[in-house]
Amino acid sequence: MRGSVSSLMLWGVAVAFYGPTFLCGQTQRDDFATPPGAAGYVSAAAVDATQIDPNAAIPTLIMPPGSDSSTIFLNPTLGRGSGGPMGYSNPFTSNNGGNILGLTTAPTFGGAFEAQAGPNTGTLYPYTILGNAPAAGNTTNIPTYIDEVSWTLLNENGSVFKTVHFAPFETLTLSSPNFQDASYSSSPSPTQFADAIQRAEFYQSLIPGPPPWHTRLVPSVVHDVNIAVPYLVNVLLPNGSIIRARSYFTGTAPDGSTFVLMLNLLFNFYFGNEVVSQIVSGAFQTDAINVTAFPNTFLFSLNVNNPNVPGGCCVLGFHTYFFQTGTQPQPRWLTLYESWISPGLFGADFQDVTALSHEVSETFNDPFLNNATPSWQFPGQPPTSMVCQSNLETGDPIEVLPNATYPISLPVKGGPPYTFHPQNEALVPWFAMGASNALDGAFSYPNTTVLPHAAIPCPLIK
């Protein structure tokens, strides 16, 4: 069911003194023919919901210390937690029958694997994963609440440049493999994309016969909102100076849709406020995956030297969780940002629901951002490369590959079949750096050839 439609007009402090537009009556035009950067994802820290005021006007945005034009969301603001290797920490690791002691959140189960190679050989790595334990069988249905966000983009003088709606992509999103069943080798009956990957991942643990093990999403659109975006914002730099920066840029995709490039600091502000608003209203729940869905919205970092030109680009999604301090057990809301991607904007067939599938599968495999792994090297890098990560983010190793997506054609209500492009995912055995006990000895799925062998340990720093 759908909740109410609202309009969120969030401009004020940061734009109150910008004066007349420099356009002198001319019509503002799109800035780019295609996004000026490659598709990618970032790590986002957990969010303390008690530190966000959903009624606040845009403040002066703060550029975190140590950030540069290539750093996006690694040091986010808006009450993010601190501590740990990626700027967050989570002391809750023990499980009890699928429920983590001390938390009120979505159902989970726990497990562990032992590193088979590299400097951490023999080290045990525990993990928490969404759903019910595979050896127990049964189906876990996880509500998936979708908040659709549209943009009203403003000229410098506050007049409306254009409105970019999510509505044209709603039916396709709900008809995608993330929520609609398709056939996969890991399941005797058609199922959803993320569930098919989980079944392949834990195939050796599945009990024979009924009741079969599944983790399924039950989607509903609970809200849609239109947010007004100022043309310029103020940003406070670490040296104490304040600069005025472009908050968004636009372009037109080959299918005629508008794409929006948004300053990550401003998007961070909108995202935090919107999620807390939905938590306060009851639309987002702790037992669910809570999705903020955007139309062709890609994030760029601040270009300090030229704030009228985008810095590093383009982020398509991230997953995180919001939590409430001062409450026991602590409530946690699993949350993700994803953008619909019109075809023709990025390489490797990154389009339609690539970002959604990436973030949903990573929410399954690392719901609380604390599933550590041996430090692994990104595929395709030279042997001495130091491009490495050390977490169970299953989409990241494959997003850099030319065959990252897995086309699936499905029927769409009210129209012809549509070919979707969810992303292939790395499986848990890949991170263990040894032999695979997944379906068919695979390290990736549904395309088992994308990762032909286990992860390569990150080279030691000499």
Summarize pLDDT for 151-175 with one digit per residue, the tens: 999 999 999 999 999 999 999 999 9
Please tell me the distance from the alpha carbon of residue 196 to that of residue 202, in angstroms, as a whole number. 10
- Main-chain phi, psi angles of 42, to 5 degrees: -135, 165
Residue linked to tokens 């356009």: 23
Alpha-carbon 383 to chain mean position: 29
Q: How many CA atoms lie within 13 A of 68 on its CB side?
A: 1
CB 41 within 8 A of CB 314: no
Give the Cα separation of 142 and 107 in Å (integer). 8
Q: CB under 8 Å to 432, separation ≥6 — which residues?
A: 113, 114, 115, 116, 125, 374, 454, 455
CA distances from 208 to 136, 173, 186, 212, 216 (A): 11, 33, 13, 8, 19
Q: What is the pLDDT of residues 341-390, one digit of tens each?
A: 999 999 889 999 999 999 999 999 999 999 999 999 999 888 777 889 99
Q: What are the 10-residue block averages of pLDDT along the chain, 462 residues in total?
A: 41 25 54 92 88 83 58 29 28 42 93 96 96 92 97 94 97 98 97 98 88 96 95 92 96 97 95 94 95 97 94 94 92 96 95 98 96 94 84 95 96 93 98 97 98 92 51
What does the block give as tokens for 27? 């019509």
Structure tokens at 112: 């562990």
